[in-house]
Amino acid sequence: MNGILNAASELVDPNVSKNPDKTAIYYRNEKISYGALQEGINRFGKLLAQTGVRPGERLIIALPDSPAFFYAFLGSIRHGAWPVPLSPALSRTGYDFIVQDAGAVALVTRTDCSAAQASGSTLRHRFYVDTPEYAAGITQASPELAPHPSRETDIAFMLYSSGSTGNPKGVPHRHRDMVATADTYARQVLDATETDRFFSVAKLFFAFGLGNSLSFPLRAGASVILNPDPPTPPDILNMIGQYRPTLFFAVPTIYNMLLKTMETESLDTGALRLCVSAGEALPADLFHDWKRLTGVEILDGIGSTEALHIFLSNRAGQVRPGTSGTPVPGWETKVVDENGRAVPPGTLGRLWIRGDATAPHYWNRPEKTRETMREEGWLDTGDVYIQTPGTEGAFVFQGRGDDMFKVDANWVSPIRVEAVLREHPAVLECAVSHRRLEGLAKPLALVVLRPGFEGNPKLVGTLRRHVLANLPAYMCPVQIDFVQGLPKTETGKVQRFRLKKD
């Protein structure tokens, strides 16, 4: 089955036929209706066509969350060109690398974004959305554009995964992928309908935010609230009070910061019915504290750029705190050993997944593709999981495959040691990796202290004793360094490989 399907048309057009005046986007003081959204998309696609950008060519989008992002992203897809959304906060060299890697022919950004200076031999056109020339080009372009007749398995867009190691990799996705994640996760796990209002702290350039703020609300004929600014806890709380979202999405650190802010400012949770956390594991305590203060559950779920969105998730009313829950409808999962053979529940192994939304390959990375996109449509997530026999099959995250290491022939999961260290009142944040002593791996910890604590040898002793009281001795860090901050990716994930001292 490989019918004609254009994702931009599939996500938007039915809503225009049904109710063109319904608000699709809330943005500052503006409301963008479905009719206006479709017009903006068509005009952008037409502008691309007139400029000579052809279907299949790549176009970089470096924009804050805004209606302009929707027009450029969906306008490209409607025309058949592949949008490549990137964070508007990358360095110039970060953009140059991706322009070159993707062979991008066009760039859509703002004059005040560092992407404005990006360069590359393939780049032919630049669109600056905050200029009068751009406004004139859009106004002159026709508001009618027939969707490019793509097949559902043709590539529609490409994301870049900042990855936990090495250079970012292009992850192409097909026309059917956004529709598939909306019809499985959003509809069947979140129960999303046209009465919902979506609000995501995670931005549109990140696969998590792209689903939360674009494909899910559009597929449901619902509304989305966009925040173009870097998220600060007071702004987020204000926006929740002002726009009254029903669904809220953020990474765990944001929930943590919001809880701390709520100690001084009250939160009007108003219409909120469900919250979602992804990006890294949500600590069980955070789930309980949030539930107690707001009355709303946070559903932890694991997703990835390669899978486009969440494939294992908790369910409303049946949350198992501290786990990633169970497979989302439409997804098959298996935990495997080094030979790709399924292991029984209760055994630690790599998580492989299979579903309709997975990227078919990496862009120009045959070696990485062979490692990750496995036989019969399976995708190796690179994550280590245990499926607990006791908790109705909930999956418990054990860390990235490449972060795990062995000490005295025993596996050490950095996140277990980090969780214990974090329980100590002196510890704000920490990351565990390993160093070699006489050729053998030993745990090493970097610790960011809470204000008021001093990093000295006495505290090292205290923290080591705290770990020893809670975990086997081989897991106890032989070295603890106090630092100001931890190395993180664009999307806020700790890069443990950068701590390794081999």
Residues at the site binding ligand 3UK, with contacts judged by CB under 6 A? 161, 207-208, 278-281, 300-305, 309-310, 324, 381-383, 397, 400, 491
CB of 202 to ligand 3UK, least distance (A): 8
Which string of b and e fits 45-75 if b means at least 16 CB within 10 Å? bbbbbeeebeeebbbbbbbbbbbbbbbbbbb
Structure tokens at 457: 């040898």
Nearer to ligand 3UK, 44 or 157 (CB): 157
Among 241, 242, 240, which Cα is nearest to 250's? Answer: 240
Closest to ligand 3UK by CB, 109 vs 305, is: 305
In the bound complex, what is the minimum distance in angstroms from residue 344's beta carbon to ligand 3UK?
22
138 vs 281 by CB, closer to ligand 3UK? 281
CB of 467 to ligand 3UK, least distance (A): 22
- CB atoms near residue 382 (< 10 Å): 18
Least distance between ligand 3UK and beta carbon 208 (Å): 4
To which residue do tokens 């790599």 refer? 350
Nearest residue to ligand 3UK, by Cβ distance, number only: 303
- Of 30 and 402, nearer to ligand 3UK (C-beta) is 402
Complex with ligand 3UK: residue 134 or 255, whichever CB lies closer: 255
Q: How far is the CB of 145 from ligand 3UK (least distance, A)?
A: 29
Is the alpha carbon torsion for 484, 487, 493, 499 positive or negative?
negative
**Closest distance between ligand 3UK and the C-beta of residue 339, in Å?**
21
Q: At closest approach, how far in Å is the CB of 397 from ligand 3UK?
A: 4
Q: How many CA atoms lie within 13 A of 428 on its CB side?
A: 15
Q: What is the dihedral of CA 41, 43, 49, 52, to 10 degrees?
A: -110
- Of 11 and 202, nearer to ligand 3UK (C-beta) is 202
Map tokens 């997530």 to a residue: 381
> 55 near 80, Cβ under 8 Å?
yes
By beta-carbon proximity to ligand 3UK, the closer residue of 276 and 475 is: 276
Q: Which two tokens stand for residue 26?
A: 């809330």
Residue whose C-alpha is closest to residue 99's, from 114, 111, 112: 114
Axis-axis angle for helices 67-79, 34-51 (nearest 10): 60
- List all residues 6 or more positions away from 33 whose beta carbon is below 8 Å from its beta carbon: 20, 21, 22, 23, 24
**Smaller CB distance to ligand 3UK: residue 72 or 351?**
351
CB atoms within 10 A of CB 356: 18
Q: Which is nearer to ligand 3UK, 109 or 314 (CB)?
A: 314
Q: Please, what is the minimum distance in Å from the beta carbon of residue 315 to ligand 3UK?
A: 14
Closest contact distance (angstroms) between CB of 419 and ligand 3UK is 12
For residue 165, which phi and psi values (nearest 5 degrees)? -135, 150
The least CB distance from residue 20 to ligand 3UK, in Å, is: 30
Tokens 């068509």 -> residue: 42
In this structure, are residues 7 and 26 in contact, taking their beta carbons and an 8 Å threshold? no
Give the separation between CA 152 and CA 3, rounded to whole angstroms.
Answer: 6
Considering the complex, state which of residue 138 and residue 359 has its C-beta at the smaller distance from ligand 3UK.
Answer: 359
List the structure tokens of 31: 């409301």
207 versus 499: smaller Cβ distance to ligand 3UK: 207
Q: Pairing state of beta strands 332-336 and 348-354?
A: antiparallel
Among all chains, which residue has been given the structure tokens 């993707």? 102
Residue with tokens 């760039």: 107
Shortest Å, Cβ 448 to ligand 3UK: 20
Query: How far apart, in Å, are the Cα atoms of 163 and each of 29, 160, 166, 215, 370?
Result: 36, 9, 7, 23, 17
